[in-house]
Amino acid sequence: MHKRQPFDWILLVILLSYFMILLDNSIIFTGTVKIAQDLHLNQSTLSWVSSAYSLTFGGFLLVGGRAGDLFGRRCVFQIGLVIFGLGSFLVGAANSAVVIIAARAFQGVGSAILAPTTLAILMDTYTGEQRVRAIGYYGAMAGIGASVSLVIGGVFASLLTWRVGFFINVPLAVWMFYLSIRHLHHDQIQAGKLDWLGTFTSLLGMIALVYSIVGTVGRLYTLGAAIILLGLFIAQEAHTRQPIMPLRLFNERQRLGAYLGRFLYMGAMLGFWFITPQLMQSQLGFTPLMAGIAFFPLTIVNFLIALQVARLTAHLGNGGLLMIGIFLTGLGMFWISRFTPATGYWLGIALPMAVIGVGQGLSLSPFTAAGVANTRDADAGAASGVVNVMHQIGGSIGLSILVAVEGQSTNAITGFQHAILTGAGLLLLALLTAIFLISPGERRSH
């Protein structure tokens, strides 16, 4: 445990770095139309502006998490900042399809290093009540950042230019780099080397898996390749002395439940964040900026609830809080699935969004805490990598499922209702993981 400072600069570095990643994810949602116009992209090429980022982000997460364990968190974090900041500049300056797609792929590598490393730094820095509070803020940022970023992206795309959303990361990354030099401690580098066979098979396997979700050609063949490569990866991890994803992380019920639950939860939420702004624009006549602002009931409630998570965890336990949070998220999701234009925004979207905000505020922090619970110090980065993999891959798969369900109906309202109802079903499965895996696992660990 390090000395507390008058102002917690370390937590600021962690949260702002994580926010930069979330900002870039959501800005693409609100900026795609303007990007397509400026760079003369067709729909197929435009989809690769998002997919290229998803491929490298998902592919490098496990490697990025383990690299911090082996080579020192501060050093790896700073490398991630440089890659992310440079990638952001190249995206903002892009003048062709090839450049923006390549820059987004490069930026995804930076995100894959930053996301698990920031969480591992948090685990290194805090213990006890301070760790519960810090994880509470980190988990809250996952929901708040995604919602606020929709608004910020809408402002930039509507009033300025989509490029500002990427250029703004450059001074932020420079500032984060300076703060990391000033405030992050020099950590001990572990003896050992990177498992290159595991790195190679996990990287290609994860990229193939993400492509089978977001790609356009040969997705079934790529899925087969992903299964084979990830199978080889797991076999390698079972035998090597220096695994990048120690299989012992999955031996505990609490962590296993957290990984499965987060996968399902984010599948529902990313689909919701993607589909609902489109519904508000097509059925209620909202502009992209208005649709982003319309998420404020969720964002504000989420923020207020997240501030209480540390205190509530002490009374209800992590598992108990998670069960309440997932249940309320599912309840709000089911309510929104009943939306019709006649219901209107306030009753049909805003009020159920507030319920979702309560649930989200109570859920994401406990999911994070359970995903890294009782890990060895040497495995903190690897565990953080798995948490982020489940967040990213779960979101991508869930988004694909909800969009596919929505597309099955010729009526936009019916398609939306069925898609959101499917999201509520995913949340029901997530609730079962909390009831039967996370909560019993937490009791056993005490």
pLDDT 10s digits, 130-148 = 887 888 788 778 767 777 7
Mean pLDDT of 183-202: 75
The predicted structure's pLDDT at residue 4: 47
What's the pLDDT tens digit per position in 22-60?
887 767 766 677 788 888 887 667 778 877 887 888 888
Q: What is the CA radius of gyration of the chain?
A: 21
pLDDT bracket for residue 123 (50, 70, 90): confident
The predicted structure's pLDDT at residue 202: 87
The predicted structure's pLDDT at residue 29: 67
What's the pLDDT tens digit per position in 248-268?
888 888 999 999 999 999 999
Mean pLDDT of the chain: 85
The predicted structure's pLDDT at residue 432: 96
The predicted structure's pLDDT at residue 1: 45
pLDDT at 3 over 50: no
pLDDT at 356 over 80: yes
pLDDT at 5 over 60: no
pTM, rounded to two decimals: 0.85
Among 141-155, 174-188, 211-225, the minimum mean pLDDT is found in 141-155
